[in-house]
């Protein structure tokens, strides 16, 4: 730990994919929406291999999803319902706990609290506690790439990002 400072600012960008179960009248469908998020954090080096990083991220949606389903209750009166889902924004407050396996690769878990604002003709704002797990690989002295996966409140979240450490 002699070469490192005890704490570092980190900044990054994440690409986020959320698959959320949405109820459209009498049926369920999985809506896939995407976002790009800016991330800021402050890493505390607890020991040579353990780092704790509180982070906040804010993202905006870059895609939407739709589904058409049939309902109505009788064969003569079927109606086609259209469900449009768009991710307006996502805010995540988290703390990443990482363990460095070797000089270039870390494993981490990230308990988080998320606010997901979905525009839809069927639903709205979602709040949830969630936890991701993933890996991070150092690309250079200041740059790293990371990927994570998490489950929360009937949703799956995949994230790919880059980080710059000061």
All structural domains of the chain, each given as residue ranges with its CATH number in brackets, are 7-165 (2.40.160.20)
Query: Of 92, 95, 103, 3, nearest to 44 (Cα)?
Result: 95
**Between 152 and 13, the higher pLDDT residue:** 13
The per-residue pLDDT for 130 is 74
Flag whether pLDDT at 161 surpasses 70. Answer: yes
Whole-angstrom distance, CA of residue 142 vs CA of residue 41 = 14
Range with the poorest average pLDDT among 20-24, 56-60, 115-119, 129-133:
20-24
Residues with Cβ within 8 Å of 111's Cβ and at least 6 positions away in sequence, in order, are 94, 95, 129, 130, 131
Structure-token pair, residue 73? 């209750």
Confidence class for position 137, pLDDT limits 50, 70, 90:
very high
Residue 24 banded pLDDT, cuts 50, 70, 90:
low
Judged by DSSP in three states, 140 sits in coil
């Amino acid at each position: 730990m002699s070469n490192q400072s005890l704490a570092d600012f980190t900044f990054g960008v994440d690409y986020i994919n959320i698959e959320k179960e949405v109820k459209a009248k009498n049926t369920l469908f999985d809506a896939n929406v995407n976002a790009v998020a800016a991330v800021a954090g402050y890493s505390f080096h607890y020991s040579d291999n353990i780092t704790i990083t509180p982070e906040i991220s804010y993202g905006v949606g870059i895609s939407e999803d739709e589904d058409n389903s049939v309902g109505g209750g009788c064969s003569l009166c079927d109606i086609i319902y259209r469900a449009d889902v768009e991710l307006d924004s996502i805010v995540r407050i988290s703390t990443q706990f990482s363990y460095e396996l070797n000089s270039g690769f870390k494993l981490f878990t990230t308990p988080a609290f998320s606010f997901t604002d979905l525009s839809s003709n069927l639903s709205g704002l979602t709040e949830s506690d969630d936890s991701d797990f993933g890996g991070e690989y150092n690309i250079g002295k200041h740059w790293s790439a990371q990927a994570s996966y998490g489950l929360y409140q009937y949703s799956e979240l995949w994230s790919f990002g880059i980080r710059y450490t000061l």
